[in-house]
Structure 1
Amino acid sequence: MKFSSKDPPVVVAEPPGTSSRIADVDALRAVALLLILLVNIAFFASGYPFHLVPDPAHDSWGDQAALWSVELLFAMKAYLLFAFLFGYSFTLQLDSAARRGVDIVPRFRRRLVGLFVLGVLHAVLLFQGDILTTYALLGLVLLAMRRVAVGTALRAAVLLTAGIGFVLALAAVGGTELVTDPAAALAAGQRSTEALQGGLGSVIAEHVRQLPAMVGTLLVQGPLALSAFLFGYAAGRRRLLTDVAGNRQLLRRVQRVGYPIGLAGAVVFASGGGTGNLTGVTVGVLTAPLLAAAYAATLLEFFATDRGRRVVTVLAPAGRMSLSNYLGQSVLCVLVFTGVGLGLAGAVAPPVVLLVAVAIYGVQVAASAAWLTRFRYGPMEWLLRAWTEQQWPRLRAADPA
């Protein structure tokens, strides 16, 4: 594998009046979309995961291997990578606003309001595990910290991760159980699966019933997402993703530390029962950021190769339309697994569920490339931009400036 320090990241021209995009960042975001789908699709395919117990109908060694692999490689890592990119992209928006001489505060606040509304609709109509509402709320904290130094952001990120890990460790030592009554959890999982097999009203009612439980999950995910925001903010201020060659030693150190520690923690997390075991969750909280960082470092180095640049060209359009694709994943999963569509909830084995995820992602990659040959933005990106800018931006790529 050869790297050339003379090759900068690919830059894609944006519509006139907007900032250029870094294709490597879009490709990295596209990979994060796949990882998120591989984790989230289990919650569409069965009602049991939301109750932190496995579906008893799928207990073969192949089923267990598929579930274990997802817990090992992607769970608690996928959304951190996505959150890191949210923080990084925030610095690009800051730079763009500074170049144009506009105040980012009201614009970014409107953007966050738009994300929050989309997140609420997403949680109620499509997927109660929505992350957009969390990003919208935490984005206010990120906005308030827009002038902090890189060192301050890094220290705050580390303290957030260590703090939530310490609290969880105390709870684990104190004997706290996430699943206090396995029999009741299994019964609840069956009821949830049956609800998902129903029509639109049944699906929405199930989502609403699960929303209070999601608040507890966000008490852990929220601080970790904010920590990832701040790591992304620090990386953006250091131009880490725009100067891979100049930061190669740092990226290599991230991999040397992140893989052994992150994978060791992931083994403990996955083998201990994943999100259903508090000790495993504690270890995951402390080590998942390192593994997610190692993934990002490896991908950035790969993108700098000749083969990697070809991959970037294929994946970048999906990353440019990340909001549309994130919501689109939920739409397609609802159509496949709930009674709104094929009604396959509870009937598809985990290995096949993962194949469905890969197929959905493949469709999205192809559709994103085709869409962006005709349009400047993804449909949801265009809608959010219209709300943020308080005017209708031109959508068609052929429109004059």
Structure 2
Amino acid sequence: MSTAEPAPARGRIAVLDILRGIAILGTFASNAWLFAVPGGASVWLSGGLLAQDPVEAGLRLLSNGKFLALLTLLFGIGIELQYRAALRRGLPWPGRYPLRALILFVEGVLHYVLVFEFDVLMGYAVAALLVAYLIGRSDRVLRAWIAVVGTVLAALMLGITALLLAVPDTPGPPPVADPSATASWPAQVAARLQFFPLFRIEIPLIIPSATVLFLTGALLLRAGALTDTPAGMRIRRRLMVVGFGVALPLNALTAFGSPDWFLVDRYLLPPVVALGILALVTTVVLRSRRAPGPARRGLAAVGRTALSCYVAQNVLGAFLCYGWGLGLAARFADAPPWWVVGLWATVCAVLMVGASLWLRRFDRGPLELLAHRVQGLGRTPARAGSG
């Protein structure tokens, strides 16, 4: 093996690392638009993050909600793998998983306060705690949870959307971008604390949505959707037909339609498209007989350090775009939206190279390593002479 390529961790499923890498970098493709607005989240408070330019709307369509949904599916697959590992080792389940969820929640709080208003880790932690107690149930029970929670959530979002469409839009003054809102990092931290309920308004949607997608990911793994078998290929074909043939065209209509379709555009259709992405990437990777190239190795490295890269990409986005950093958002305020693509590509390249270099010496990302050590602090040491 070349010294330029980090050694694969034992027991890992290669396609999952690549999928996680794609999901992490794809998530930043959506978040980059938030960083690229002069004034940052303060513009969101006044409703100024809706795409006005058709090119920008099209670029957002490619990423909005889809890769976050993919990441959520993969998180559920991860819980299922941890559950299986506990069974193989004869360990009780959920065992120490609640501590793991608590650590993730604390990381999410710190990420929100210090870095990014639209953190998902807090919602993931709460949903993961619930799913940890469900994951050992039968497939029938998991499907029932998915059906009930998913139906209620979909009905709620469609009902709100119907109300929004029924109420005539009242045009108001255009939002004013205030670059001074991002000129001071301490001021941004204070604003996140002050407007916590408003910035965290997504949490009631993230938790049930994540629960459904976590359980869906677990069932897909159980059904063999990630295996190079005829059954796995059949499942993936169906997912691609539904994801790309049905959900993606509908998602295009909502993306270029009225802003009142926001909930459907971000929370209902993208998870279905994400199923198609998962199926397509898995099929391509399983069929590939070539040695991994730099791009694939870089994606896998990001996937193996997913938590660290998720936080790092938002730190980089804030530093590059905000006034207390390089201030690119204000400098390129009148530039075509393609500059945001350049921002995304630059951050992706930094993460892929950085993660690959890190994994030459460590088998986990820095935040993953820290969380692992914190989990180990409370572990009761084995008695001398015990088996």
TM over 0.5: yes
Give the 5 Å matches for 1:362-381.
362-381=349-368
Deviation digits for residues 85-114 of structure 1, max 9, x if unmatched? 000001111111122222342421111111
Partner of 1:319: 303
Evaluate the alpha carbon distance shift between residue 118 and residue 91 of structure 1 in structure 2; reply closer, same or farther with a 3 A threshold: same
Matches of residues 1-400 of structure 1 in structure 2 within 5 Å?
12-14=8-10, 20-46=11-37, 47=40, 48-49=43-44, 51-54=46-49, 63-70=53-60, 72-175=61-164, 183=172, 186-187=175-176, 190-191=177-178, 193-196=179-182, 198-243=183-228, 246-273=231-258, 277-282=259-264, 285-304=267-286, 305-307=288-290, 309-310=292-293, 312-348=296-332, 349=335, 350-390=337-377
TM-score, L = length of structure 1: 0.83
| Conserved? CA contact 2:57–2:256, under 8 Å | no
Equivalent residue number for residue 17 of structure 1: none
Q: Is the 8 A contact 1:111 1:388 kept in 2?
A: yes
Q: Distance in 1 between matches of 2:109 and 2:170?
A: 30
1: CA distance, partners of 2:291 / 2:239 = 20
Aligned pair in 2 of structure 1 residues 102, 38: CA closer, same or farther (>3 Å)? same
Contact 2:180 2:323 in 1 (8 A): no
**What is the CA-CA distance between 1:51 and the residue it aligns to?**
4.1
Distance 1:176 1:258 in 2: 25
What whole-Å deviation, never above 9, does each CA across 1:127-164 have from its counterpart, x for those lacking one? 01000000011111101202222233234224333322
SS of the aligned residue for 2:331 comes to: coil
Q: CA deviation at 1:345?
A: 3.0
Give yes or no for contact 2:111–2:311 (8 Å, CA) kept in 1: yes
Distance change (3 Å), C-alpha of 1:35 and 1:368? same
Is this contact kept in 1: 2:32–2:340, CA < 8 A? yes
For the residue of structure 2 that corresponds to 1:345, the secondary structure is helix
**What is the alpha-carbon distance in structure 2 between the residues aligned to residue 165 and residue 77 of structure 1?**
16
- Indicate how the Cα distance of structure 1 residues 378 and 149 shifts in structure 2: closer, same or farther if over 3 A, else same: same
1:186 is paired with a residue of what secondary structure?
Answer: coil
TM-superposition CA deviations, 1:193-219 (whole Å, max 9, x none): 4311x1211221233344322332233
Q: CA deviation at 1:67?
A: 3.5
Pair 1:177–1:332, CA change in 2 (3 A): farther
The whole-number CA distance in structure 2 between the counterparts of 1:120 and 1:374 is: 29
2: CA distance, partners of 1:322 / 1:161: 27
| Gap change, CA 1:185 and 1:135, over 3 Å in 2 | farther
Give the Å deviation of 1:342: 1.0
- Whether the 8 Å contact between 2:74 and 2:214 is mirrored in structure 1 is yes
Distance across 2 between alignment mates of 1:50 and 1:225 = 25
Q: 1:79 to 1:283 in 2, by over 3 A?
A: closer
Q: Aligned equivalents of 1:182 and 1:107: distance in 2?
A: 52
On the 8 A contact 1:150/1:234 being kept in 2, the answer is: yes
CA contact (8 A) 1:272 1:280 kept: no
Deviation at 1:363, TM superposition (A): 1.1
Q: Tell me, in whole angstroms, the C-alpha distance in 2 between the residues paired with 1:178 and 1:382.
A: 50
Q: Distance in 1 between matches of 2:168 and 2:180?
A: 21
Could you tell me how far apart the structure 2 residues matched to 1:284 and 1:379 are?
31
The alignment yields a C-alpha RMSD, in angstroms, of 2.6
Q: Any idea what SS the aligned residue of 2:136 has?
A: coil
Measured against aligned partners, the alpha-carbon deviations of 1:258-289 in whole angstroms (never above 9, x if no partner) come to 2121112211221125xxx3334236543222
Corresponding residue SS for 2:200: helix
SS at match of 2:325: coil
Deviations 1:285-342 (A, max 9, x none): 4322221100110000111212585454342111000001001011111211113311
TM-superposed deviation, 1:220: 2.6
Partner Cα separation in structure 2 for residue 245 and residue 41 of structure 1: 39
Per the normalisation by structure 2, the TM-score is 0.86
Question: How far has the Cα of 1:116 moved from its partner?
Answer: 0.7
Secondary structure of 1:216's partner?
coil
Matches of 2:200 and 2:365, distance apart in 1? 30
Distance 2:167 2:368 in 1: 37
1:54, distance to aligned residue in structure 2 (A): 4.0
Q: Using the alignment, how far apart are the partners of 2:169 and 2:314 within structure 1?
A: 30
4+ aligned runs moved over 6 Å, structure 1: 176-181
Match of 1:7 in 2: none
Identical amino acids, percent of aligned pairs: 27
Aligned length: 364
* Residues 39, 74 of structure 1: 8 Å contact kept: yes
Structure 2 counterpart of 1:286, one-letter code = L
The 1:181/1:220 distance shift into structure 2, 3 A limit, reads farther
Q: Partner amino acid for 1:173?
A: A
